[in-house]
Amino acid sequence: MSDSRRSSGSARRAAGVRRASAQRSGQSSRPRAAQSPKGSSRTGKRAASAGGAARGTRAQSTGKRAASTRSAAARRQKKNFLNYPRAGAKNPWRWIPSLRMIAGALALMVLAGLGFAVWLYNDTDVPAPSDFALAQSSRVYYADGETEMGRFSEINRTEIPADEIPENIKQAVVASEDSTFYENRGISPRGIVRALINNLSGGARQGGSTITQQYVERYHTGTNTSYLGKMREMVMALKIDQELSKEEILARYLNTIYFGRGAYGVQEAAQAYFNKDAKDLSDAEAALLVAVIPAPSAYDPANDQDKAVSLWDRVITRQVNLEQMTPAEGDALEFPETAKPSSENELGGTKGYLLVEVRKELLEQGFTEEEIDTGGFTIISTIDKEMQKHSVDAVKDLPDDRPKNNRVGTMTLDPATGAIRAMYGGPDYVKQAQNDATQSRMQAGSIFKTFTLIAALQDGYPLDSLWQGNSPQTFDGGWEVNNFANASYGTVTLERATASSINTAYAQLNLEIGPQRTRDVAVELGLPEDTPGLTEDAANVLGSASPTVGEMAEVYATLAAGGVHRERYIVESVTRPDGSSRYEHEKEEKRAMDQDVATNATVALQGPPTVGSARKLEGIMGGRPVAGKTGTSEKMRSAWFVGFTPQLVTAVAMFQPGEDGSEQSLTPFGGEQYITGSTWPTSVWGQIMSRSLEGQEFIDFAPAVPLDNEIRSRSQPSPQPQPAQAPPPEEEEPSEEPTEEPTEEEPTEEEPTEEEPTEEPEPTDEPEPEPTEEPEPEPTEEQPSDPPGNGDKPGRGGGGRGKPTEKPTAEEQAAGIG
């Protein structure tokens, strides 16, 4: 190492020694009083050292004690911020909260309650009205739009505007249910406290409800007994009280509340208890309705007269106390007499069939069941109240010995529109739900000849075309056809064959034009293609098909309307509660046949009611022009008359099912030996139509017109018909239930009336049969008369064999009860 480096290191060390010496010197340079006493001896130094240590120890101990005291005080001060347990108090007082602590707790509770209330108010919305609150009965009216027929209801309620609710019931409900209604804000603090005390004491849970709260419960939320639910109900009451006027709240409440007897709302209650509208209630009646609100079933006068009187008096007293009436006025009121509770099913009786038919049509038009039951619709039907009464009375007026299982269906239509004006479906829908006018099916018998008549006119055969009317006749395939009583008529015109319902002549005609044509015309006029028994067989002319009364009324209405088909209907219009239109019938029509053809067919059908099987109508209808046709089916299992005037069409059918639903021959009653279309069905038709048309103008049918396609000559059907004679009177009388097998001679109840068989010119290639010992009568379709005829030949599906077989088929014999 060089000398210079060593010299430098020695210098740094020397400087360091000096700085350290200087620092020590500085530390010891204190005032003298603070310095240790001087001494040179070791004893003195030790004494000084000991004294300093002692002073340091004492000072350190004192500092620690002071710090510890300050820390404990701080801890005690932090722990007793609420002074609990109370400082300085002895047990047990130190554990009792101080006033400061109680006040603080109450303040916190109030703040928390206010915060919860603000949250609940903001979080609670007034919901839309419940489905229950909006549900109303849909009312069905007769065609006059004023007379109620019935109603569809899930809830029996009809809302009325606030201005139609009388003041007397508003005052009574306020006096009884909420005397502070017009002053409170939707809730009653006093009522809430009273309910709380009651609930805490173990009584039935109450909600301290005002009218507004009750309205909220019924109109928006439904019954709610939980405390939270009641709190929300009160909040909604506060909000609604700000949104709606008191009058509107009261009106909604009275339109919603249950009054007993199945009645919701004051309008239905007024009807149920007093058979009047709410606007017509007296003060005493209004008070009684209000009195039953708390427990309608228990307080109904019909169930507890004494309780009802007591509560009624309470309402009156409260009204007097609120000065709604004077004491003298209150004393003058008498307890009102109420109507008996109605236990009748809404569908009971004959009107049930009408209501069900209305509902069925509404469903077909796109309505839902729920909509019908709760929509509050005003439904105007097409049913004429007076015509309906005439239809019901006509069936009720049948003789008392009529069998219990004898059933009748009727329907009356307006051919100009297709509107159903009256319908008899049975005596009581509740006891017999099947509608005999629209559901029950019966073999048609000779009323089906009308379709063959129309087809013949369309194919060019005029009314004066000639046909062989002798009986029996056998056609290709062995089909043997007989006339009623096996009577022969010789050669007859088409018009005469229609008037006398000659089976053999019509069998020839059907074979000539083709049975398919008869079927096609029936369908064109409105008969459903799937009608049971509607075939293309030759026997279809004798009525082997089984339609309903309503279907035959509709197809004959097409003829009455000059060939224009209109579907029958029963609902005219549907209006919503607000007065807007929900549905209105739109007329749909189509031409089913030429008008001239319809005119000539109508001319031919005037024969049966004038000179044929239904000629008794001449007297019943007072000479009013009538067209129509009788019909009697296989073994007299059904009997018909379908006829019309220019204004109305009515179809009537009678049948008799067995206990197991099987088809039975009609049991004679009312002095008739046989029940055929010309007997009671014609009588019922005449009573309905003569009374329904009373006072209306006599309108003549149009006369026959020449058709452009008429054929004046025709080929004779093959085989040649076999002439036959009327049976002699000494032959065996028919049994009460005719056999299915045709006999060569069918006896009659009486001898035919004495009329010449050749009243009209009958040119023919065949010679007429020689007369018998007695003059050959001109029999009609039915058993002639005095009394008038008995319909078509029993046992032959309208008078003849159904098919070219040895026996009628089961299909022909079927009555088709549907």
Q: Peptide bond before 787: cis, by omega within 30 degrees of 0?
A: yes
Query: What's the pTM value of the predicted model, to 2 decimals?
Result: 0.69
Mean pLDDT of the region 200-218: 66
Which residues are within 8 A (CB) of 611 and not within 5 positions of it... i.e. 6 or more apart?
499, 500, 780
Mean pLDDT of the region 31-50: 47
Q: Peptide bond before 92: cis, by omega within 30 degrees of 0?
A: yes
Could you give the CA distance from residue 101 to residue 302 in angstroms, rounded to a whole number? 62
Helix axes 283-291, 266-274, angle to 10 degrees: 110
pLDDT given at position 122: 63
Q: Is residue 799 pLDDT above 90, yes or no?
A: no
| Per-residue pLDDT reduced to its tens digit, 127-146 | 566 677 778 899 999 999 99
Could you give the CA distance from residue 548 to residue 499 in angstroms, rounded to a whole number? 24
Q: Is residue 187 pLDDT above 60, yes or no?
A: yes
Please say whether the dihedral angle defined by the alpha carbons of residues 575, 581, 583 and 588, taken in this order, is positive or negative: positive
Q: Is residue 727 pLDDT above 90, yes or no?
A: no
Tokens encoding 111: 């703040």
Rg (CA), the chain: 52
Are the beta carbons of 383 and 423 closer than 8 angstroms? yes
Q: How far is residue 482 from each of residues 325, 792, 800, measured CA to CA in Å?
A: 87, 10, 5
Which residues are within 8 A (CB) of 138 and not within 5 positions of it... i.e. 6 or more apart?
151, 152, 153, 372, 373, 374, 375, 376, 377, 378, 379
| Per-residue pLDDT reduced to its tens digit, 338-355 | 998 876 678 999 999 999
pLDDT given at position 194: 62
E strands present in 126-193:
138-141, 148-152
Tokens encoding 455: 């087809």
Of 132-136, 482-486, 791-795, the poorest mean pLDDT is in 791-795
Could you give the CA distance from residue 569 to residue 130 in angstroms, rounded to a whole number? 35
| Per-residue pLDDT reduced to its tens digit, 756-783 | 333 333 333 443 333 333 333 344 433 3
How many helices (H) and strands (E) would you count in the chain?
27, 18
DSSP letters along 583-616, please? EE----EEE-S-HHHHHHHHHHHTHHHHTSTTTT
Tokens encoding 164: 């139609």
pLDDT given at position 53: 52
pLDDT given at position 779: 41
Could you give the CA distance from residue 813 to residue 796 in angstroms, rounded to a whole number? 8
Q: How confident is the model at residue 39 (pLDDT cuts 50, 70, 90)?
A: very low
Average pLDDT, the chain: 79
pLDDT given at position 426: 97
DSSP secondary structure code for residue 663 in this structure: B
Q: Is residue 700 pLDDT above 90, yes or no?
A: yes
| Closest by Cα among 331, 459, 406, 479 to 684 | 406
pLDDT given at position 19: 47
Q: How many CB atoms neighbour CB 691 within 10 A?
A: 15
Q: How confident is the model at residue 12 (pLDDT cuts 50, 70, 90)?
A: very low
* Catalytic residue positions, numbered: 177, 446
Which residues are within 8 A (CB) of 251 and not within 5 positions of it... i.e. 6 or more apart?
161, 162, 165
pLDDT given at position 61: 58
| Closest by Cα among 243, 169, 167 to 212 | 243
Of 77-81, 266-270, 618-622, the poorest mean pLDDT is in 77-81
Mean pLDDT of the region 376-395: 97
DSSP secondary structure code for residue 34 in this structure: G
pLDDT given at position 709: 87
Of 64-78, 85-99, 320-334, 495-509, the poorest mean pLDDT is in 64-78
Q: Which residues pair with 419 in a beta bridge?
A: 569
Could you give the CA distance from residue 115 to residue 353 in angstroms, rounded to a whole number? 62
Q: How many CB atoms neighbour CB 515 within 10 A?
A: 18
Highest-scoring range by mean pLDDT, 78-82, 104-108, 395-399? 395-399
E strands present in 473-580:
473-475, 479-481, 491-493, 564-566, 571-575
Percent of the chain with pLDDT over 70: 70
Could you give the CA distance from residue 227 to residue 316 in angstroms, rounded to a whole number? 33
Do the strands 378-381 and 138-141 form a parallel or antiparallel pair, or are they unpaired? parallel
Mean pLDDT of the region 434-459: 97
Q: Match 């030429």 to its residue by tokens.
A: 594
For 409, left (φ over 0), alpha (ψ -120 to 50), or beta? beta
Could you give the CA distance from residue 512 to residue 599 in angstroms, rounded to a whole number? 22
Q: How many CB atoms neighbour CB 283 within 10 A?
A: 22
Are the beta carbons of 124 and 136 closer than 8 angstroms? no
Q: Is residue 301 pLDDT above 80, yes or no?
A: yes
Are the beta carbons of 241 and 186 closer than 8 angstroms? yes
Q: Is residue 127 packed enough to be buried (19+ CB in 10 Å), middle (13-18) or exposed (0-12)?
A: exposed
Phi, psi (deg, nearest 5) at residue 610? -110, -50
Could you give the CA distance from residue 681 to residue 688 in angstroms, rounded to a whole number? 11
Q: Match 């200087």 to its residue by tokens.
A: 22
Q: How many CB atoms neighbour CB 620 within 10 A?
A: 17
Q: Is residue 296 pLDDT above 50, yes or no?
A: yes
pLDDT given at position 576: 94
End-to-end CA distance of the chain: 141
Could you give the CA distance from residue 146 to residue 581 in angstroms, rounded to a whole number? 17
Label each residue of 202-243 as H, E or C: CCCCCCCCCHHHHHHHHHHHCCCCCHHHHHHHHHHHHHHHHH
Could you give the CA distance from residue 435 to residue 355 in angstroms, rounded to a whole number? 11
Could you give the CA distance from residue 264 to residue 268 in angstroms, rounded to a whole number? 6
Q: How confident is the model at residue 217 (pLDDT cuts 50, 70, 90)?
A: confident
| Closest by Cα among 139, 572, 144 to 372 | 139
Residue type, 228: L
Q: Match 């007397």 to its residue by tokens.
A: 168
Helix axes 99-123, 227-243, angle to 10 degrees: 60
Dihedral angle computed from the Cα positions of residues 125, 126, 127 and 133, in that order, rounded to the nearest 10 degrees: 160
| Per-residue pLDDT reduced to its tens digit, 519-567 | 999 999 999 999 999 999 999 999 999 999 999 999 999 999 999 999 9
> Any long-range contacts for 520-524 (C-beta under 8 Å, 24+ apart)?
520/455, 521/451, 521/452, 521/454, 521/455, 521/458, 521/593, 522/448, 522/451, 522/555, 524/565, 524/592, 524/593
Could you give the CA distance from residue 654 to residue 680 in angstroms, rounded to a whole number? 8
